[in-house]
Amino acid sequence: MIVDRLEKPLSSKVDLSDERMFKKLFVGYFAPLCVFAQKYVGNFNDEDIVSSVFSNMYQKKLTFNSHDEFVFYLYKSVKNKCLDTLKADSRMTSRNQFYSEELEQDNLFNQIVENETLAETYREIQSLPTYSKRIIELSYFEGFSNQEIADELQLSLQTIKNYKRNAVASLKTALLKKILSFLFF
Amino acid sequence: MKKNIPQSPTIYQLVFLIRKAKKEGLTDAEQTLLNEWLSQDAKNLELYNKLLSEDYPRKMKEMLTKDAGAHYRKITKATRIRKIVRRLSYGSVVAAASIALYFIFAPLVSEQTDDSITPAEGESDLITLRTGAVREDLTVHADSVYEVTSLMKEGTMQALVARVKDEPITIRTPIGKTIAFKLQDGSTVYLNSSSQISFQRNFEHEDERRVSLNGEAFFIVSKDKTKPFIVENNGNEVKVLGTSFNVNGYDSRSKFSLGLATGKVEVKIKELGYAKTLTPGYEVTYNKSDGSVVQRTRDIARIGLWRTGVYTFEAMPIVELTKDLEQMYPIHFVFDGPMPEELFNGEIVRDDDWKKVLNKLEMTNRVRFEVAGDKVVVRRHEEENEKNN
């Protein structure tokens, strides 16, 4: 997660030549930026666009004076690349053209706020303890029953149930509670 | 004395404030900071309300399925040749992202596969337009919005238009086909499949703009304060001045629902003497079989989303879900034994082969289908039985 307190300063420098910092930022921002890019280019080459923007920033070893500055640069680069891709697409219909012109005028600051509000929940899930996360993956995404998870992870059935309950409790977002509880109880 | 000018909040301060407001509410100081931003632009308030009322489940699913690991390795490998850490403790961090989802169907780029969807016997598989005794089959493109007058000018209709000019026009769609057209007043109607709508060609001499609908349609109504736009559905009425909304009410089904995307509408349910004014982002559902009326929030972006060829469903019992599928595909469902009690959420791309859709539903491990021609037998998935066999 990026913010867990309002007062927490985000003025610290971002230095992409720092291997560990780059990795952390990449893991936290890759998926949210892909979803952001999908608004423009659909889910066809969103990953490649985001990946190439990160690659570019990594190779140039860019540094930023604050986290906000980094995030703004990142989103702006992805957005520009998306718009370029749209414009370069020769098959583009006039409807798309209209659409891209409309999108170009969108307020980037608000777009970032919107996407990052969601991204924080995503990072919340990613930051769950390994076992809770693994159990969520197995049950929520792979459809394993409690017994199958217990067998897979060599844990007792009761432990699995407890882990699930705790995982749901820690994902405070109402949305996730709603979706997860459907499978858990 | 000079007061400090309050600073505008930063991106992450806003993210924090919005998330906190959503979860547990804000303190006075926090509210002040947020208000500073809200008061700057009407668009800010709009975004704030949107974020408060919506959860973006589809976007969240998208994020969770992304595999950052492969891309990260590619980037760092290209730059640094030797120092590749194979252990990648970080692998576990992104593992969650690589797993397929099973009960929300991601709208992947749909490939046009074989033509296994064929129209049901005896049913016309064409969109038809009737006025008086004249009937015309229409061939339309799903992405275009047509002028009703231009639809009428096709073929034989043209010659007969003059003779039937006072008759109402009825447009009907078969299973799996939709049409979008503009009424004389400039309002746009998106008619979903297996639906029928009737209206006067010209509203000029009417006090109101009245259309009657059996099925589902999304309306974008042009503003005219002097002539309310009324959608009549099996005795229920939706009255508006200028707005966009979705009405779902098939005569054959026990459900009538109205979802509002923009503006303000008044909904009247005759049997109950119920009248209510609805604001955007809400959906009212009236269940004819038990007389219940439920109002709930709905992701505005999802209201009438079927127009784009995506069908979404939320907290839907299997019996209702299969009825929706029957309206989209030329199949019919038969129920055998007890049905699963779980509710289903998801998204279907209309162009997908229905067999693929059934497969996806089976992957929830709650339900099993047995296909025989166009008949599909539905059974609850019995885990224990299968294991014993």
Name the token pair of A179: 């979706």
* Domain A130-184 fold: Arc Repressor Mutant, subunit A (1.10.10)
Chain A CB contacts of B101 below 8 Å: 141
Task: Determine the Cα–Cα distance for residues B21 and A145; give it in Å rounded to an integer.
Answer: 35
When mean pLDDT is compared over A61-70, B15-24, B158-167, B344-353, the highest value belongs to A61-70
Smallest CA-to-CA distance from A177 within B116, B291, B23, B135 is with: B23
Task: Please answer whether residues A177 and A168 qualify as being in contact, where contact means their C-beta atoms are separated by less than 8 angstroms.
Answer: yes
When mean pLDDT is compared over A50-54, B58-62, B150-154, B349-353, the highest value belongs to A50-54
Task: Determine which of A91-95, B117-121, B174-178 has the lowest per-residue pLDDT on average.
Answer: B117-121
As to burial, measured by CB atoms within 10 angstroms (0-12 exposed, 13-18 middle, 19+ buried), residue B173 is buried
Task: Determine the Cα–Cα distance for residues B197 and B172; give it in Å rounded to an integer.
Answer: 7
CB atoms within 10 A of CB B126: 15
pLDDT for res A129: 65
Task: Determine the Cα–Cα distance for residues A140 and B101; give it in Å rounded to an integer.
Answer: 8
The shortest C-alpha distance from A131 to chain B (Å) reads: 10
Q: Which DSSP state fits B254?
A: S
Task: Determine which of A58-72, A84-98, B22-36, B349-363 has the lowest per-residue pLDDT on average.
Answer: A84-98
**Nearest chain B residue (CA) to A20:** B90
Task: Determine the Cα–Cα distance for residues B313 and B108; give it in Å rounded to an integer.
Answer: 17
What is the dihedral sign for C-alpha B176, B181, B187, B188? positive
What share of chain B has pLDDT > 70, as a percent?
75
Smallest CA-to-CA distance from B96 within A142, A126, A1 is with: A126
pLDDT for res A75: 94
Chain B CB contacts of A96 below 8 Å: none
B17 touches chain A (CB under 8 A): yes
Confidence check: pLDDT of B272 > 60: yes
Name the region of B292 (left: φ>0; alpha: ψ -120 to 50; beta: rest): beta
Task: Please answer whether residues B17 and B34 qualify as being in contact, where contact means their C-beta atoms are separated by less than 8 angstroms.
Answer: yes
Q: Write the CA distances from B355 to A33, B109, B136, B351, integer angstroms.
A: 33, 17, 32, 12
Residues 6+ positions from A6 with CB-CB distance below 8 Å: B13, B16, B17, B20, B30
Sheet holding B332-335, edge to edge: B332-335, B375-380, B367-372
Out of A44, A58, A121, name the one closest to residue B79 (CB).
Answer: A58
Buried residues in A1-19 as b, exposed as e (16+ CB within 10 A): ebbeebeeebeeebebeee
Quick one: pLDDT band at residue B258, thresholds 50, 70, 90?
Answer: confident
Task: Please answer whether residues B108 and B349 qualify as being in contact, where contact means their C-beta atoms are separated by less than 8 angstroms.
Answer: yes
**Nearest chain A residue (CA) to B56:** A118
Out of A43, A114, A133, name the one closest to residue B96 (CB).
Answer: A133
Q: What is the mean pLDDT of residues B248-266?
A: 79
Smallest CA-to-CA distance from B329 within B366, B369, B302 is with: B369
3-state secondary structure of A164: helix
Domain ranges of chain B: 11-53, 59-98, 100-117+305-389, 126-297
The mean of the pLDDT values for chain B is 73
Quick one: pLDDT band at residue B161, thresholds 50, 70, 90?
Answer: low
Q: Write the CA distances from B57 to B22, B52, B106, B313, B363, integer angstroms.
A: 15, 14, 11, 12, 19
Please state the ipTM of this predicted complex. 0.75
Task: Please answer whether residues B353 and B117 qualify as being in contact, where contact means their C-beta atoms are separated by less than 8 angstroms.
Answer: yes
When mean pLDDT is compared over A128-142, B39-53, B162-176, B291-305, the highest value belongs to B39-53
Name the token pair of B385: 């039985």
Q: Write the CA distances from B96 to A142, B64, B71, integer angstroms.
A: 11, 6, 15
Per-residue pLDDT of chain A (185 residues; tens, 9 = 90+): 555 555 544 557 888 888 888 988 998 899 999 999 998 888 778 899 999 999 999 988 899 988 888 999 999 999 999 888 877 765 555 545 555 555 656 688 899 999 998 888 788 777 766 667 677 767 765 667 888 888 777 677 877 787 777 766 666 554 454 444 444 33
Out of A112, A141, A172, name the one closest to residue B23 (CB).
Answer: A172
Smallest CA-to-CA distance from B244 within B228, B222, B220 is with: B220
Q: At what angle do helices B68-79 and A46-59 cross, to 10 degrees?
A: 40
Alpha carbon B330 to chain centroid distance?
A: 20
Q: At what angle do helices A157-170 and A146-153 cross, to 10 degrees?
A: 100
Task: Determine the Cα–Cα distance for residues B72 and A75; give it in Å rounded to an integer.
Answer: 18
HEC readout, A64-88: ECCHHHHHHHHHHHHHHHHHHHHHH
pLDDT for res A77: 94
Q: Inter-chain contact A143–B56, Cβ cutoff 8 Å?
A: no
Task: Please answer whether residues B227 and B208 qualify as being in contact, where contact means their C-beta atoms are separated by less than 8 angstroms.
Answer: yes
A124-154 tens-digit pLDDT? 777 766 667 677 767 765 667 888 888 777 6
B69-117 tens-digit pLDDT? 778 888 877 554 333 333 322 322 222 222 222 222 222 222 223 333 3
CB atoms within 10 A of CB B143: 11
pLDDT for res B194: 85
Chain A CB contacts of B363 below 8 Å: 143
The shortest C-alpha distance from A40 to chain B (Å) reads: 14
Q: Write the CA distances from A66 to A12, A70, B322, integer angstroms.
A: 5, 7, 52
CATH of range A14-126; options 1.10.1740, 1.20.120, 1.10.3470, 1.20.58: 1.10.1740
pLDDT for res A137: 66
Task: Determine the Cα–Cα distance for residues A31 and B313; give it in Å rounded to an integer.
Answer: 25
Task: Determine the Cα–Cα distance for residues B84 and B77; give it in Å rounded to an integer.
Answer: 7
Find residues 79-108 of chain A whose CB sits inside 8 Å of chain B. 95, 107
Torsion angle (degrees, nearest 10) of CA A23, A27, A28, A30: 120
Domain ranges of chain A: 14-126, 130-184
Confidence check: pLDDT of B355 > 80: yes
Name the token pair of A3: 């913010």
pLDDT for res A26: 92
Q: What is the mean pLDDT of residues B21-29?
A: 82
pLDDT for res B120: 35
Q: At what angle do helices A157-170 and A174-184 cross, to 10 degrees?
A: 160
* Domain B126-297 fold: Jelly Rolls (2.60.120)
Q: Taking the CA of residue B251 as centre, how many other CA atoms within 13 Å lie in the half-sphere pointing to its CB? A: 10
Quick one: pLDDT band at residue B377, thresholds 50, 70, 90?
Answer: very high
Confidence check: pLDDT of B163 > 70: no
When mean pLDDT is compared over A5-14, B34-43, B376-385, the highest value belongs to B34-43
Buried residues in A68-91 as b, exposed as e (16+ CB within 10 A): bebbbebbebbbebbbebbeeeee
Q: CATH for B100-117+305-389?
A: 3.55.50.30
Find residues 54-113 of chain B whose CB sits inside 8 Å of chain A. 55-57, 59-60, 62-64, 66, 68, 71-72, 74-76, 78-79, 90, 92-97, 99-102, 106-109
Would you give the end-to-end CA distance of chain A in angstroms?
28
Task: Please answer whether residues B279 and B221 qualify as being in contact, where contact means their C-beta atoms are separated by less than 8 angstroms.
Answer: no
Task: Determine the Cα–Cα distance for residues B284 and B291; give it in Å rounded to an integer.
Answer: 13
